[in-house]
Amino acid sequence: MRTPIMAGNWKMNCDNDEAWQLASAIVERAGDVEGCEVVLCPAATALTTVQAAIEDTVIRLGAQNIFWEEKGAYTGELSGPMLVSCGCQYVIIGHSERRGRFGSVADDFTPELQQVFGDTDSSVNRKVKAALSYDLTPIVCCGELLSERQAGKTDEVVAGQLRAALAGFAADQVARLVLAYEPVWAIGTGEVCEADEANRVLGLIRGIVTECADESVAQRMRILYGGSVKPDNVPGLMDQPEIDGGLVGGASLQADSFCELIEVAAEVNSG
């Protein structure tokens, strides 16, 4: 049995006061939860605030991005040692928004401007390598655009992103990852992927992990679904055999809704 994970990706939300309040409210209801790992991924500016709020609880801290070099002239970037010094144990890598691939985006956010988020398959691979070298657990994301799904390319896109992310790692390194399938068209749009379709793609991902590592690593790998996970759809998602939890944006910004997700995941796990 794989222990599920609920990871809250707060994205560019919550100043320090708000982060303290949100993390404290989650601690109050889920600070000693059993049967589900809980990870909070606030903006970098709130990492130490959230770490203080979750101290002495089972809740863990994650960052939303990492740069692969240890230090140097990389304005605006954050290194593994910096994240570790804030208390991070996890880091989200290759989120579609960091690849410049958005589920919903403002009209004036042109393709050229979307390049400010410049992650590519090879930068994702380097970031995973860096995270592992600092003992951070990468939550590696993959997922297709609506246009790619409509063109019948979902499996090809997901497999391509994953193979690139995992390239060059030994089985014992792959074993330290968490993966997340996030169809881009379902992120922040309210449009959730049908649970059985999400389960199908996660099965495909597990097959790729078998190829890149081995069967036992694949069977132990936690693979999350992300994209408009909410209290009303989480029971159906968590019922699927391949889905080991959620990477949650919008619904992680309210303590009540996020704690409901945690409780459903923990209950499914215990049943």
247 touching ligand PGA, by CB under 6 A: yes
Nearest distance in Å: CB 188, ligand PGA:
4
Residue 80 or 183 with smaller CB distance to ligand PGA: 183
Query: Within 10 Å of residue 54's Cβ, how many Cβ atoms?
Result: 21
Note the residue count of the chain.
271
Single residue of 248, 261, 265, 268 touching ligand PGA by CB under 6 A: 248
39 touching ligand PGA, by CB under 6 A: no
Distance CA 68, CA 131 (A): 8
Letters for 8-37 (x = contact with ligand PGA by CB under 6 A, - = none) are: -x----------------------------
CB contact set of 157 (below 8 Å; sequence gap of 6+): 142, 143, 144, 145, 148
Q: What DSSP designation does 93 have? A: E
184 touching ligand PGA, by CB under 6 A: no
Nearest distance in Å: CB 94, ligand PGA:
11
Question: SS3 breakdown of the chain: % helix, strand, coil, rounded to 5?
Answer: 45, 15, 40
Residue 42 or 250 with smaller CB distance to ligand PGA: 250
233 touching ligand PGA, by CB under 6 A: no
Among candidates 88, 33, 84, 24, which has minimal Cα distance to 54?
24
Among candidates 202, 215, 196, which has minimal Cα distance to 245?
202
Letters for 143-182 (x = contact with ligand PGA by CB under 6 A, - = none) are: ---------------------------------------x
CB contact set of 77 (below 8 Å; sequence gap of 6+): 67, 69
Residue 85, judged by CB atoms within 10 A of its CB (0-12, 13-18, 19+), counts as exposed
Single residue of 188, 231, 235, 236 touching ligand PGA by CB under 6 A: 188
Residue 86 or 187 with smaller CB distance to ligand PGA: 187
Structure tokens at 200: 């199908």
Residue 131 or 142 with smaller CB distance to ligand PGA: 142
Q: Which residues are catalytic?
A: 95, 182
64 touching ligand PGA, by CB under 6 A: no
Selected range binding ligand PGA among 31-39, 43-51, 62-70, 225-233, rule: CB under 6 A: 225-233
Query: CA 205 → CA 12, 102, 119, 225, distances in Å?
Result: 28, 21, 20, 11
Letters for 191-210 (x = contact with ligand PGA by CB under 6 A, - = none) are: --------------------
226 touching ligand PGA, by CB under 6 A: yes
User: Residue 223, SS3?
Assistant: strand
Query: CA 175 → CA 38, 197, 239, distances in Å?
Result: 19, 25, 24
Single residue of 213, 250, 260, 268 touching ligand PGA by CB under 6 A: 250
229 touching ligand PGA, by CB under 6 A: yes
Which residues bind to ligand PGA, rule: CB under 6 A? 9, 182, 187-188, 226-229, 247-251
